[in-house]
Amino acid sequence: MHCSARPAVDSSALSGASSSSRARRSVTLVTALQALAAVALAMLAPAAWAGSNFSGPTIGPVPVEFFLFAAVLLCVALFHDHTLKVAVVGAVVIALYKIAFSPFHEGAGLAGFAGHLSHEWVMLANLLGLLLGFAMLSVHFEKTEIPAVLPRFLPNDWKGGFVLLIMVFVLSAFLDNIAAALIGGTMAGVVFKRRLHVGYLAAIVAASNAGGAGSVVGDTTTTMMWIAGVSPLEVVEGFVGSAVALAIFGVLAARQQHAFQPIAKDELEHTPIDWARVGIVMFILVTAIVVNVLINTRFAADSDSFPWLGVAVWVAILLAAPVRMPSWGDLPAAFKGSVFLLSLVLCASMMPVEKLPAASWQTAFGLGFVSAVFDNIPLTELALKQGGYDWGFLAFAVGFGGSMIWFGSSAGVALSNMYPQARSVGAWLKGGWHVALGYVAGFMVMLAVVGFHPGSVPKTAAQVPADSAPASSPAPNPVPTSRPAQ
């Protein structure tokens, strides 16, 4: 028997499904292009990205590792439900490939891989400790009820979201950008009822990275410059670019968020503040700041021997546990997100980026875009060894540039653990386009106002002929050269 009746079809549902399908295709296309940028960057300057000592296999002028890394980024973007597996498998595949066919910076084979891990383990351990520790700190902060009270003191309209971004910017100048992003994400989640536009999430990450770009205690890369002998006064000019960028992306993102979800000011108006938790949050933050400054100034020679900062944060958390117990139940999810990040960082660290193009403002400008794909720590190391950069420009480029992609900085990955909707390159680029605009505008204003002038010669810089050295370079700061704690 035929049944001619068919269920009614909701045309709006079909339209929504069609729109959703088009959006997914758009995201896939944009993400594929971004992932393949890793290969494009290598092809644009093969002599720069693969040093003369590189002896591994290549496809044309490009080392095979770049193609493997691009494939990992592409798979992370396409398989949203399996990002952790993709990142871990990708790191294992790249490591096995390099062990079998291509040398590490530290040597070939298993010995080279062991040497590479011994060189990177402090950074990875510090990053793990900070990600997990600040996940606990963010829950402490949320339970203080300060985020619930905060709307009373923020402007009613879009300017409230902008003021919140300024708070993140200022906080990051004194504290690690991961902590600033997580605290900003916690506050924004409360005042906007956890309905956050991806463009505003990108702005929180950008504000946290911008705040550390001109401070030698606000970002790992600027701390590296300080330890290598660059004066803090040479780095502080990075705030010029950061301030311009904040004024651009901050206003645009705040307007985006206000249209998407205005600040909720009428709820929980009489909520009491848990001052004990406020004290715990301050204790953890002060501990992190003090240890960061002490290790990188008084004990710089030992900074790469142990994950001091990550351990210090956890010591503070455990000491405060008898007063208010941390939210241990949030650790498993935070750990998964952390392993995902560490896998991508490890992949980036194994890329054969052995030297950079000649130091110039054009190179520094390009490194901002490169840092959105590659780890900015090895890029900064290479720049310090090469010398010849204006360190304020480099600090802004590698510190802020990673904000253009969600996995381009530790702050971005940490915030995406809180808000999974941020884990889409296409959505990030579409919603956070103003971050790239802020980067370009900030850099160009620096170029016009400050001017690009090669700074002091770091202790790690290669020797250059006297006639090519800067005529009046200030003497380097006599701090022992070492890699800082992340």
Residue 471, burial from CB neighbour count under 10 angstroms (0-12, 13-18, 19+): exposed
Q: What is residue 126's predicted lDDT score, i.e. its pLDDT?
A: 81
Under the banding of pLDDT at 50, 70 and 90, the label for residue 13 is: very low
The pLDDT of 85-108, averaged and rounded, is: 90
Under the banding of pLDDT at 50, 70 and 90, the label for residue 225 is: confident
Domain spans of the chain?
123-338+355-468
Q: pLDDT tens across 15-29, in order? A: 334 444 444 444 444
By the 8 A CB rule, do 413 and 420 touch? no
Short-list 457, 466, 442, CA closest to 390: 457
Under the banding of pLDDT at 50, 70 and 90, the label for residue 53 is: low
Under the banding of pLDDT at 50, 70 and 90, the label for residue 315 is: very high
- Distance between CA atoms of 167 and 254, rounded to whole angstroms? 13
Residue 86 exposure: Cα atoms within 13 Å on the Cβ side: 16
Lowest-confidence pick of 198-207, 334-343, 373-382:
373-382
By the 8 A CB rule, do 458 and 483 touch? no
Q: Who contacts 307 (Cβ-Cβ below 8 Å, separation ≥6)?
A: 122, 125, 126, 129, 485, 486
Q: What is residue 16's predicted lDDT score, i.e. its pLDDT?
A: 39
- Distance between CA atoms of 175 and 177, rounded to whole angstroms? 6
What's the whole-model pTM score? 0.67
Q: What is residue 77's predicted lDDT score, i.e. its pLDDT?
A: 66
Q: If you average pLDDT over each of 87-101, 269-283, 410-424, which comes out highest? A: 87-101
Lowest-confidence pick of 12-21, 172-181, 221-230:
12-21
Mean pLDDT in the chain?
Answer: 77
Flag whether pLDDT at 206 surpasses 90: yes
Q: Of all residues in the chain, what percent are helix, strand and coil, respectively (each to 5)? A: 70, 0, 30
By the 8 A CB rule, do 405 and 373 touch? yes
Flag whether pLDDT at 180 surpasses 80: yes
Q: If you average pLDDT over each of 36-40, 211-215, 370-374, which comes out highest? A: 211-215
Residue 13 exposure: Cα atoms within 13 Å on the Cβ side: 3
Q: If you average pLDDT over each of 172-186, 250-264, 346-360, which comes out highest? A: 250-264
Q: Look at residue 10 and give its three-state secondary structure.
A: coil
Under the banding of pLDDT at 50, 70 and 90, the label for residue 39 is: very low
Q: What is residue 80's predicted lDDT score, i.e. its pLDDT?
A: 64
The beta-carbon contacts of 55-58 under 8 Å, at least 24 apart in sequence, are 55/102, 55/103, 56/98, 56/101, 56/102, 56/103, 56/352, 57/101, 57/102
Q: If you average pLDDT over each of 252-256, 303-307, 365-369, which comes out highest? A: 252-256
Flag whether pLDDT at 1 surpasses 70: no
Question: What is the CB neighbour count within 10 angstroms for residue 44?
Answer: 11
Q: If you average pLDDT over each of 55-64, 124-133, 322-331, 355-364, which comes out highest? A: 322-331
Short-list 102, 127, 165, 108, CA closest to 337: 127
Interaxial angle between packed helices 331-349 and 83-101, expressed in degrees from 0 to 180 and rounded to the nearest 10: 30
The pLDDT of 181-198, averaged and rounded, is: 87
Lowest-confidence pick of 109-118, 172-181, 387-396:
172-181
The pLDDT of 78-90, averaged and rounded, is: 82
- Distance between CA atoms of 416 and 419, rounded to whole angstroms? 5
Flag whether pLDDT at 10 surpasses 70: no
Lowest-confidence pick of 207-211, 212-216, 358-362:
212-216
User: What whole-number percentage of the chain has pLDDT above 90?
Assistant: 27
Flag whether pLDDT at 14 surpasses 50: no
Q: Sign of the C-alpha dihedral, residues 246, 248, 249, 250?
A: positive
